[in-house]
Structure 1
């Protein structure tokens, strides 16, 4: 399975980027190819000017187009996904997520931001054609403590929720799902 992950965090040491990478890591056995898009590393002028022809932007859009699973990770700011992620999503074609599984992931300071997944991120994913959206996973900062060696230490309950969201992608379940219909 070709997996493309998109990190919409502007921060270098980001909980949402780390959670996105954790999801990819948990699917390593299923992945035939991985692509990671750190939107913060894309050319700012091309993003702001919506220059879909810029080589780096075009390559990122191709990575989404060829994926079977797209993992979208974002911090929640002001009850919405990041503006950086919005800049990239606006460059995707209208049906960019059709026939793909999509896993929305988000992090925020408190559980008060949880509904931003349902009321902000999922509607834009749907507008991009996503019809097979896996259970979203939201993590608070307290559920992912910084580790002294770098990275974060997730609480067991967060890992359990992530694994439940990924369960439809297990080899046993893939045979039952619509994902198995796609070459």
Structure 2
């Protein structure tokens, strides 16, 4: 199956976005994909803010993008746009870092007023990086994502179903087997 890079653009260590991505990572692994998580917040801020293309962490992140056949990009929405941390990383990648790749854009936010952030803020930037295909994305309200004290994540049923659908479409575009997973459930 495919190698998938799962990128969380959240600057927060307790991010709902990152937790949601890790949940979707498990679904993709169950469908046979190798998934590599990347939390932008773990990259050195100095390297990101000073555009240090040669910093070993930035070189490594760039290599992860090169290696991946599919990329999941998840971000919280701030002021109707994707996170600045994600923007800083995307700016350091080569112009066509997504060339030939399948991309799944996801976003989380506090209000439905930000639901179009994927299509009007994130998708144009991703598209400019030359992907073969950007699958339909999904915006999840913060209130639909609950983290338990034990670290378990609960997603409201309607959102969970929509996320499963977009993840399965992404997997199918990569040559995955979502139908087998559904039949086994």
TM-score (norm 2): 0.88
Distance 2:91 2:42 in 1: 17
**Residue 64 (structure 1) aligns with:** 65
Aligned to 1:153, what secondary structure does the other structure show? strand
What is the match of residue 121 of structure 1?
A: 122
Distance (Å, rounded) in 2 between the aligned partners of 1:14 and 1:68: 25
Aligned to 1:130, the other structure's residue is in SS state coil
Which residue of 2 is the match for residue 9 of structure 1?
A: 10
For the 8 Å contact 1:6–1:72, the answer to whether it is kept is yes
The CA deviation string for residues 87-142 of structure 1, in whole angstroms up to 9 with x for no partner, is: 00001111111111111111000111101111000000001112411111111111
Q: Distance in 2 between matches of 1:91 and 1:158?
A: 32
CA separation of 1:162 and 1:40: change in aligned 2, threshold 3 A: same
Q: How many residues align?
A: 175
How many Å apart are 1:58 and its aligned residue? 0.4
Listed as ranges, the matches of 1:130-141 within 5 Å are 130-141=131-142
Contact kept? 2:102, 2:174, Cα under 8 Å:
no
How far is the alpha carbon of 1:32 from its aligned partner? Answer: 4.8
Give the structure 2 partner of residue 49 of structure 1. Answer: 50
Q: Provide the C-alpha distance between the structure 1 equivalents of 2:69 and 2:89, rounded to a whole number of angstroms.
A: 19
Q: Which runs of 5+ in 2 are unaligned?
A: 177-185
Decide which moves more: 54-63 or 151-160.
151-160
Give me the whole-angstrom Cα distance separating, in 2, the residues matched to 1:7 and 1:18.
9
Residues 50, 170 of structure 1: alpha-carbon distance in 2 compared, 3 angstrom cutoff: closer
Q: What SS does structure 1 have at the residue aligned with 2:131?
A: coil
Q: Distance in 2 between matches of 1:49 and 1:122?
A: 25
Query: What per-residue deviation string (whole Å, max 9, x for no partner) do you get for residues 51-110 of structure 1?
Result: 111111100111011101101111000000000000000011111111111111110001
8 A contact 1:7–1:38 mirrored in 2:
yes
Task: Report the Cα offset of residue 152 of structure 1.
Answer: 2.8
- Is contact 1:18–1:151 with CA below 8 Å preserved after alignment? no
Q: What is the RMSD computed on CA atoms of the aligned residues?
A: 1.8
Q: 1:104 to 1:22 in 2, by over 3 A?
A: same
